[in-house]
Amino acid sequence: PPPSRSQPPLPPPPSAPAAVTPQAPLPPPPAPTSTGERKAPVTTKIAMPKPAAIFNADEEEDEREAEKQARKKKKLEKIDYGEHALEEDKKRAAEMAKSIIDMIPTDTDALFAYPLKWQVLDDNDVADEKMKPWVQKKLIEYLGEEEPTLTAYITTLIKQHKGPKDILEEVIGILDNDAQIFVVKLWRMLLFEVLKAELG
């Protein structure tokens, strides 16, 4: 038999075409203007604050804070000064009261003989403003209840420039054994208020 001839190799099968990724559509070109030129696309710009504006805002904030602290400090100083002044007034008032008390005699005869400036009493309305509330309070202590009629009567005696012995004669029938001590205290208080009005 005739010799066999070798068969030529078969070509490889064709490979499948690669998948094509779809491309996003391109934006349309800008429309031509009346002159034939194309407009550049419009872009939105974000306005950035200028450095000067930022620094000015910081400076204004610092100034407001400084003013706030200054007002607070001034208020505290005013309060401190007011409290200090009040303490000084109390101190001076206490010193004056002590000096006036030292001027008033403790002996009953010397007390009743001490000269009282009636003009100062009248000018400063000491009888109604100072002595009437004191008399009312003391009568409650001695009698246990308010005595508006007796309070007004004793106040009137003071306004009439009656001396301590005259007042004692008027109240002894009501206060009995307490009349002497009542008039002594009344006269000491009356002298104190008149002297304070005179010296103050």
pLDDT band at 54 (very low <50, low <70, confident <90, very high): very low
Tell me what the mean pLDDT of segment 185-191 comes to: 96
Of 81, 62, 61, nearest in space to 73 by CA: 81
Contacts of 171 (CB under 8 A, 6+ apart): 150, 154, 179, 182, 183
pTM greater than the 0.85 cutoff: no
CA distance 175 to 178: 5
Residue 151 buriedness (CB in 10 A; 0-12 / 13-18 / 19+): buried
Contacts of 32 (CB under 8 A, 6+ apart): 38
Q: Which two structure tokens, joined as six digits, stand for 90?
A: 């109390």
Q: Which amino acid is at 69?
A: Q
For the cut 90, the answer to whether the pLDDT of residue 56 exceeds it is no
- What's the distance, CA 155 to chain centroid? 41
Phi, psi for 147 (deg, rounded to 5): -130, 75
Tell me what the mean pLDDT of segment 107-127 comes to: 95
**Average per-residue pLDDT in the chain?**
78
pLDDT band at 189 (very low <50, low <70, confident <90, very high): very high
pLDDT band at 194 (very low <50, low <70, confident <90, very high): very high
CA distance 124 to 126: 5
Helix segments in 144-178, DSSP class H: 148-159, 164-175
State residue 48's pLDDT score. 54
Question: pLDDT tens across 144-174, in order?
Answer: 999 999 999 999 999 999 999 999 999 999 9
Neighbours of 138 (CB within 10 A): 19
